[in-house]
Amino acid sequence: MSSKEQILQKIKQNQPGEVTELPDLNVLGSESFDVLKTYKKVLKSIGGDFAEVADYTQIIDFLKNSYALEKRIITTIPELSEIARLDWQNDDPHSLEDVELTIVKAHFGVAENSALWVTDALLGQRVAPFIAQYLAIIVSKKDIVATMHHAYDRIGNQEYGFGTFIAGPSKTADIEQSLVLGAHGARGLIVFLMD
């Protein structure tokens, strides 16, 4: 008998006789709060930052003032081609090691934890938001949902190969519980909240 058969047989024999019911999830996520205000507050509290912008021109202006534009900047958003490259998406992911800033869009954000949902379709390459020194994510203000329950309602049966929630910059507190931003992923996260 294969290990699979052996394990499954033992599980069948040992699991409880009756299947217990799954709980109703609709009773959750009824908390009411100002989603945009909460989103901003939580993002700040976990080391992220935000800027409210009306259009891509304002994003370009902001980035020109805040980042070293002579370094390598990549994006998947054609509107930002003035300041960032678009031609890296089929390269070897290792070649992205010198990227200073990655700029991508998020499908939506979650107010209670400031997480942003991104998938293959928006990332260009899976490693792009992780390998860059800094990360900028654009999300529409109307696409902020309240809780994770709303987030998964929104995701539904969305098809993706890879998707991730990103909440703030990469961080660690493994040395004496001292919080340090920039563990292995981005050292900083700026979220552009678009009208």
Partner 1 sequence: MSSEKTITHSEAATRFNQDTERVNWHDETLWFVREKRDKSAHQIQDWELLRETASKIKNNVLSNIHDYLVEFEANAQQNGIIVHWAADAKEHNEIVHAIMVKHEVKQIVKSKSMLTEECHLNEYLSQRGIDVIDSDLGERIVQLRKEPPSHIVLPAIHLKKEDVSETFHKHLGTEKGNNDPQYLTEAARLHLRDTFLTRRAALTGVNFAIAETGEFVVCTNEGNADMGAHLADVHIACMGFEKLIPQRKHLGVFLRLLARSATGQPITTFSSHFKKPRDGKEIHIVIVDNGRSTQLGREDFRNSLKCIRCGACMNTCPVYRRSGGHSYHNAVAGPIGAILAPNLDMSKNADLPFASTLCGSCTNVCPVKIDIHDQLYKWRQVLVKEGHTPATKTIAMKTMATVLANPVIFNMAGKSGRFVMKNVPALVNNKMNKWYDQREMPDVPEESFREWYKKNSRESKTDKDEQ
User: What is the pattern of x (binds partner 1, CB under 8 A) and - over residues 3-32?
Assistant: xx-xxx-xxxxxxx-xxxxxx-x-xxxxx-
Site residues (CB under 8 A) for partner 1, limited to 37-56: 42, 46
Stretch that binds partner 1, among 55-63, 64-72, 74-82, 158-166 (CB under 8 A): 158-166
Please name the residues in contact with 25: beta carbons below 8 A apart, sequence gap of 6 or more.
149
Site residues (CB under 8 A) for partner 1, limited to 161-190: 161-178, 180, 182-186
First CA to last CA distance, the chain: 61
Helix (H) or strand (E) holding 10: helix 3-14
Q: How far is the CB of 68 from partner 1 (least distance, A)?
A: 18
Q: List, in sequence order, every residue forming a beta bridge with 49; answer none if it has no partner.
A: 190
Closest CA to 132 of 169, 100, 170: 100
Which of 63, 136, 149, 188 binds partner 1 (CB under 8 A)? It is 149
* Three-class secondary structure of residue 52 per DSSP: strand
| Cα Dmax for the chain | 66
Q: How far is the CB of 41 from partner 1 (least distance, A)?
A: 11
144 forms part of the interface with partner 1 (CB under 8 A): no
Q: How far is the CB of 177 from partner 1 (least distance, A)?
A: 6
Asked if 165 and 116 touch (Cβ cutoff 8 Å), the reply is yes
Which of 53, 75, 112, 146 binds partner 1 (CB under 8 A)? It is 112
